[in-house]
Structure 1
Amino acid sequence: MKANSKFFIGIDVSKPFFDASLMAVTDHQKRGIETARFDNTLEGLKAFGKWLKSFKVAMDPNTLVVIENTGIYHRLIWSFCNKKACLCILVMLLISNGALVLPEAKMTR
């Protein structure tokens, strides 16, 4: 019987780098969360791709990627993920009077 795996990737982007957190759920069992930092460059994207492959992440519809909208700095990683078959969500987080507000979300598939 083939294992049923789903992957959840959260990406926090800044100008020089991005941080990625990966959580995998296999047959309804959550595995440990893995984190890594990559340069926000083409070389960093290559390293990110290798990192995902090392955990056997298939960038397919069983993978959800959530990326922080940072103005222009998220565009490289957004483009990389958007070319895959995974579900991508771009969010802009705002804090207003101490409350978290989600004013914008963009999804692609």
Structure 2
Amino acid sequence: MYRYRTGLLLQRVQERTTATKALLFSELKKAVLGAFLIGAAAIALLYTTFFVFLLVTEAAEALLPRWAAYFLAALVMLLLSLAAAGLGLHRVLRMRLAGAAANAYRKARQAFSPSW
């Protein structure tokens, strides 16, 4: 009787663990696809930004010498990229998503672990 209950409990734990792993992997697949699409959009935005700054530079040539217009546009692009990189790094360092997922998995394991 005792072995039957222990075996049944272990079977339920394994089923719950398998279900949790399947759920995590399905969410991971969605996240990878989303990251790929965001990366593709970022590349398109990068090319678009380049051509917008090229347009602004050509328009600024009416007021400034050609070298000064290109220098100004390059300086603005550099400042914007540094600001974006700083903001992105700040957000990544604040993010605790991976730790939260690991804690949820540990809590699920503890909830279904036998307490003998």
Same fold (TM > 0.5): no
Q: Which has the larger radius of gyration?
A: 2
Q: Indicate the structure with greater strand content.
A: 1
What is the TM-score normalised by the length of structure 2?
0.22
**Higher relative contact order (CA closer than 8 Å, sequence separation 6+):** 2
Q: Indicate the structure with greater helix content.
A: 2
What is the TM-score normalised by the length of structure 1?
0.23
